[in-house]
Chains A and B, each alone.
Chain A
Amino acid sequence: MIRQLARVLGAPYAGPLRRHLAGVLAYAVLQGLVFVLLVPVLRPLLRGDTDGAQPWLGVLAVVVLATAVAYWVQAQLGYRLGMALSRALHHRIGDHLAALPLGWFTPARVGRVARMSSTGVVDVMGVPAHLLQPVVTAYVSPAVVVLAMLFVDWRLAVAALITVPLIVLVFRWSARLLAATDVVVDTAGVEASNRIVEFAQQQAVLRAYGRTGEGFAQLDAALTEVDRANRRQLLKGGPGLVASALMVQLSVTVVIVAGVAVAVGTTVDAASLVALLVLTVRFAEPLVAAADLGAALRMARNSLDRMDELLRTPVLPEPSAASSFSSDGSIELDGVTFGYDDRRVLDGLSLTVPAHSMTALVGPSGSGKTTVVRLVARFFDTLEGTVRVGGRDVRDLTTEQLMAQISVVFQDVYLFDASITDNIRAGRAEATDDEVLEAARLARVDEIATRLPDGYDTMVGEGGARLSGGERQRISIARAILKNAPIVLLDEATAALDPDNEAAIGSALAALTADRTLLVIAHRLQTVRSADQIVVLDNGRIAETGTHDQLLAAGGRYAAFWSERTRASGWRLVSGAV
């Protein structure tokens, strides 16, 4: 765990980490010595010889003072390390996130990363701040005590020593037992919670179909399973729980019995023996503390694991310095193969989008349309083949150079929780107010702004929650217009919009794409028809290429797609005159 901590923190923190560890070790050893000193103080004292006890009491006072100082020093070091850790972890996570391929960022990961950067870091900060010391002490102090006992009475030392591996084994055994049943119980608990959430989210459907209350069998089954898992855990894990809680008392009892055996069977110095017995009681105590910290330690370890995993995720290689680059405004995919995990999505695909022309991608879902667009924006790197933007391999461009070439308008629009103006200005930070307003006008955002109480200064809410989908789309188009990049990547919206938004977005897109190189995942028939080149994808390969008229004449897949879609667009829910 220490090694992992060192790795996640990075080289500059190896020194402070080592110093803190040394401080903790010194404290643990000194505390062990304090316990050992019980024997020479108690021996005379129990005989009533207070004068004999006093010199050792003096020694004890000195060692206790040293222990207190060591505690102070390690606490300070741990605190400083914890603070450094907070900064270092956040910066490393932040830097790494900025360099990860865009494709890495899936919605599921967002929540995980957010948790990792807030409570996860706090968990890990706790390791030097309050976990390391008790854990190290738990093992080192008893070791010192046992070592010292060997010199005083080897028989009791052996009795104590016998219990050590036993304690460790029982702790391990019960931890494993609990961990195993924990997984089962957790899984059952998560399943039950998910079912309740599903039950809530699907309430409309469930009620409409008469399945409320006890009628939702899946929820009932999940709840019953939790109950079963809980009971099973008690039966299987309970003994481990009890055993580990009793281990310390057991070991003390063993030593008591051994001590009695020694006292009865042989002749010993009573005071020494008693002093030793007292020592044994102390010896086991720190172990209890360690057992209590197991859960916190496990939590910190899990957080650390997740950070380690994140930091080990490879980032996209980038040239260290920007070389001069003049773009010709074209897009080219050359023999591109790509897949997610073991699923192949694109298979030796070649495609050229000449400058200032429009190419429409069509094809069934899963045919690779989105992947093509993502590869152009370098969400991922290809497995084989080359993607060129403006005539240059995207891997030879810096992120800034590549992104200066392209505007991206996707369906899942993300707006920052800021004013409308700020969101548009994100397209080009140095744009003048007039330019921002002009872009807003072209994307028909001005209509939205006049409707809202604070006009352009209206805050849009987290992710743009205060606006409708169509309105968000228009703001994102304004942003892209302001950016004024030579290449536009567009994923046309599929969702139904009201006629006003539909018309507004149509004119906004016309303003954005005029005289640009355009690669569009097309859903609207008029978009497809107006393309200079239509590329029909199927299973990661190009099935057909050509203009609308050429492809219709060819009578292939595109012609079938076209007739199907035309039929759909003329659909009437209820027949009747138009």
Chain B
Amino acid sequence: MESGLGGLLRPVRGALVMAGALQVVSAVAGLVPFLAVAEIGRRLLAGETSELWTVAWWAVGGLLVRLVTMMASTGITHFADARLQDHVRREIARHLGTVPLGWFDARSSGEVKRAAQDDVGALHHLVGHAITDLVAAVVTPVAALVYLFTLDWRLSLLVLGVLPLFLSAYAVMMRGYPEKMAAHTAALGRINSAVVEFVQGIAVVKTFGQARRAHRRFLRATDDFADFFGSWAGSMIRVEAVASALISPAVMVLVVLGGGTWFVAQGWLAPVDVLPFVLLGVGLTGPVLSLGYGANSLRQARDAANRIGTVLAVPPLPITRDQEPQGNHVRFEGVAFSYDGRTEVLSGIDCVLEPGTVTALVGASGSGKSTLAGLVPRFFDATAGSVTIGGADVRSIDPDDLYRRVGFVFQDVRLLRATIRENIALGRPEATDGDVIAVARAAQIHDRITELPDGYDTVVGEGAHLSGGESQRVSIARALLADTPILVLDEATAFADPESEAAIQDALSTLVAGRTLLVIAHRLHTIAGADQILVLDQGRIVERGTHDDLLAAGGRYAAMVATTMEAAR
């Protein structure tokens, strides 16, 4: 795929070219009234009043042409814009559906948000407005100049004389602009973090009597910004004022009239030929600013396109569908995993999850429990070794089949902004109301749902706010309905919400019954009855066995149990 802005714009390139062409016609039609006035002047001064109405109708005709071309180009760009937005957003969504689950974290969701919102917005501005504005800003003065040059090239040059002056002043202004701009962004960033710290930490700051200090830090950041901006803008403002004054309409009027009078006095120009210069010459420099805006939004769109490109460039999870699991036997063989390719989070993992048994993962935080559990539902793919289900490598199983076999329930559940029914029936949209209610009852959440304003049709997050424990139970109901033979579970789920701890626990007990269970354990006593306990340390399995075996062995597991007992006392 073509990279950057060009690639992204390809679906609408034809439309943009067409809109640009129409805009050229429209810009030229915009000059017609000026020409009409010049023509009227010519005829009036020559004493011919007969053809005057014809000229007036030209003006009207120009207006109509502009009306039609503008409507057409506005329509084309806006439809193109709508199509592009839709295309880019769908492309992002389609791609997100294929990247490894491990890619999604706080940082990447920020990236997605920016790509889907701000960056698509920047493209919208470019396609919807900036391109046609840019065309008009170029075509109008160029067409006017061509006309003026055919009338009298000497006066044209004189009128243009201010431009080099303006441009050199502009060049002076722009000297060191990228560096200054970077410093400007950095200073704004410092304000941003100072205010975030000030506001987020305000409870700490106030309760520890540090309000004044943080306040000072914030004010210092803002004053630094003001100083920086002041000296930068201060050095530019004089040049800027001179440059802007040079191309201001007032100066242009003086130049044109002064030059015109001089040329007429010298006999180089017929008096009536001064008119087009007054009419068109004065406005020649106007679009310079529009050009600046246009270039700016082009730059922004390019940056936006690059950011969208980075999201689209995340390598997708390879999917092959050539193996079919025979049964639900899960096996890890020589599995290693590394996030960054250097430090191994897991290494040399060998273990088997027999159907219908419970395997508990135990270990300090950072020991690799969650990573190991995440390999079964393919949050990540192992960097060495293999994870198989029923003899088939998870990487070779059709994802639909894989997820019919593996379900999971984690601690931080966020429900979809959809109705409760849709949330529960996510895995089986065809489920009947009876099915949904049955699992909701089993998950101890049915009664709470019926209390909601619209019952099962309440939209989560809009019609009702569920507590952590309630959301938890909805997600358990969802897992119950999906009814996967293999389940990956974070045991902390059971303690996520002290208010409804007992209810979540009952729901979980129902859910795990009879399944192949892989559980990430935090409170050791809850998994004491597991068929096998794997103790992880720095990515390796250091002990394995039942609770009794491990206690008797007097190793790391026994020590952890002892610490827990101590903490409870």
Contacts and interface: CB of A to CB of B under 8 A. Distances in A.
A526 B519 contact: no
Nearest to B400: A210
B199 A105 contact: yes
B79 A234 contact: yes
B282 A212 contact: no
B542 interface: no
Interface string A27-52: 00011001101100110011110100
Interface residues of A, number: 160
A531 interface: no
Contact of A399 (B211, B406, B496, B547): B211
Contact of A205 (B211, B399, B426, B525): B426
A483 B113 CA distance: 41
Interface in B247-281: 248-251, 253-254, 257-258, 260-261, 264-265, 271-272, 274-275, 278-279
B15 interface: no
B528 interface: yes
Nearest to A470: B365
B384 interface: no
A147 interface: no
Interface stretch (A165-173, A194-202, A334-342, A380-388): A194-202
A286 B17 CA distance: 30
Nearest to B426: A209
Contacts of A277: 37, 40-41
A545 interface: no
A296 to B, nearest CB: 10
B250 A270 contact: no
A241 B74 contact: yes
Nearest to B85: A226
Contacts of B37: 256, 274, 277-278, 281
A259 B411 CA distance: 79
A267 to B, nearest CB: 10
A68 B244 CA distance: 9
Contacts of A90: 191, 218-219, 222-223, 225-226
Contact of A256 (B36, B98, B258, B495): B36
Interface in B183-231: 188-189, 191-193, 195-213, 215, 218-219, 222-223, 225-226, 229-230
Contacts of B278: 38, 42, 278
Given A31-B250, A208-B377, A260 B528 contact: no
A106 B55 CA distance: 66
Given A47-B271, A499-B560, A574-B512, A203 B97 contact: yes
B250 A230 contact: no
Interface string A212-223: 110010110001
B441 interface: no
B82 A230 contact: yes
Contacts of B215: 94-95, 97-98
Interface residues of B, number: 170
A503 B563 contact: yes
Contacts of B101: 203-204, 207
Contacts of B155: none
A321 interface: no
Interface centre among A117, A414, A572 (most CB of B within 10 A): A117
Interface in A73-131: 75-76, 79, 82-83, 86-87, 90-91, 94-95, 97-98, 102, 105, 107, 109-110, 113-114, 117-119, 122, 129
A190 interface: yes
Interface string B417-450: 1100000001100000000000000000000000
Given A46-B272, A46-B274, A274-B275, 11 more contacts: A41-B257, A50-B264, A61-B258, A68-B245, A86-B225, A86-B229, A200-B96, A208-B427, A218-B418, A249-B63, A494-B495
